[in-house]
Amino acid sequence: MANSATAKKRARQAVKRRERNVSQMSRVRTYIKNVVKAIAKGDKTAAESSYERAVPIIDSTATS
């Protein structure tokens, strides 16, 4: 349990960051899953399309 004001603030910030990170990682996993499914089907055009959509999402998540 946080005792000082700064510790309480840091705990609130940690909760906000965790919510944002969980959401972003879920989105990244979904895009990666779509790419893997397209590759497994052997559909080259769908795989390329899924990959092109996934790259900006992965990049933005990695930099935030």
Mind listing the pLDDT tens digit for each residue in 16-38? 999 999 999 999 999 999 999 99
* N- to C-terminal Cα separation, the chain: 28
Please tell me the predicted confidence (pLDDT) of residue 8: 94
**Based on C-alpha coordinates, what's the Rg of the chain?**
18
Q: What is the pLDDT of residue 50?
A: 97
> What would the two tokens of residue 61 be?
């998540």
For residue 29, the model assigns a pLDDT of: 98
Domain boundary assignment for the chain: 15-63
pLDDT at 1: 75
- Cα separations (Å) of 30 from 6, 21, 38, 42? 36, 14, 12, 19
Residue 2: pLDDT band with limits 50, 70, 90: confident
* pTM listed for this prediction: 0.78
Residues ≥6 apart with Cβ < 8 Å to 34: 50, 53, 54
